[in-house]
Amino acid sequence: MELEFFTDPAAFLAAAGDLLAAEPVLGTVIAGVSDRTAREIADGFGSWTEVGAPFDRWWLAVRDEAGKVVSVSMRTAPFKPYPIFCLPMSDEAARALARALHERGEFLGGANGALPAVEVIADQTARLAGGTTEVRHSIRLWEATEVTMPAAPPGRLRRAVEADAALVLEWFTAFHVEADEQAGREPDPTSGEHNTIDSVLLRIREGAEWLWETPSGEVVHLTGCSLPSYGVSRVGPVFTPREHRGAGIASYVVGELTRLGLEAGDRMCLFTDRANPTSNKIYESLGYRPVVDMAHLRIDLG
């Protein structure tokens, strides 16, 4: 077993592409982030320089004795505690990754991804650093191969445009706060994806953000839908302000984007917080089915 680190996403994708193509739904986060980062670098967009992390971002390929890539991980999250994200890997590989990071002085404050690998990585890190671990979020990955469409509410679906960027950024932030509240947790501003106006504009220009307008032209809902990577598109975030909830907008928009993706030949997936029964019930009713359970863990020094 060998751990091979990369700082260039294009080189990582060249090495790990066969694995990501073989498990495209399971690898949707790593594939999507890597593809987007490679595009950013090609366009001269150096987002990592503004992060201020005490290490270079990296991608990892785990190779077996024959040299075949059997698992992958990455540390590219631009927010503290800079968690890794990993796909299923052997306990041996998970412990080796934790040791490798410890030996190069790169403290791992968080581990996200497939169970049980992230628990093994977090526990090994805590043992080496003298810390403790805590499960922050329990996550479930879902896929839809068909969709049951709910009734359409009044209004229309449209792609976000650059003039919507400030609103989209505001709702991204609100989404993470309210997701914690809906799951019964105290909102944690240090968790979840952090966005800037530049990152929002990039998504809008790629056509990845969608809005719902009422017949009067008021924008009342946001849903993201990533560009396909290895044939898989990921829905999220999904956000409706409180005053516009209960009208079936979120269910319809997610269903419609799922339908459009399936008709285009894409595989469609999304993540839910297992502590939020409302969203899990909604997506299951649309036709989404569980793929794998994941977790977001925090690692704190003792």
According to CATH, what is the number of the domain 147-286? Answer: 3.40.630.30
* pLDDT value of residue 51: 85
Q: What is the mean pLDDT of residues 1-14?
A: 97
* pLDDT value of residue 85: 98
The mean of the pLDDT values for the chain is 93
Q: How many residues does the chain have?
A: 302
Q: What is the mean pLDDT of residues 4-24?
A: 97
CA distance to 18, 25, 30, 232, per residue, from 21 (Å)? 5, 9, 12, 10
* pLDDT value of residue 185: 55
* pLDDT tens per residue across span 28-48: 999 999 998 998 899 887 778
Q: What is the mean pLDDT of residues 181-200?
A: 65
* pLDDT tens per residue across span 239-248: 999 999 999 9
Q: Using CB atoms within 10 Å of the CB of residue 41, give its burial: 0 to 12 exposed, 13 to 18 middle, 19+ buried.
A: middle
275: helix, strand or coil: coil
* pLDDT value of residue 182: 59
- Give the contacts of 17 (CB within 8 A, at least 6 positions apart): none
State yes or no: pLDDT of 189 exceeds 70.
no
Report pTM.
Answer: 0.88
Q: What is the dihedral of CA 189, 97, 19, 266, to 10 degrees?
A: -10
Count Cα atoms within 13 angstroms, Cβ side, for 205: 9
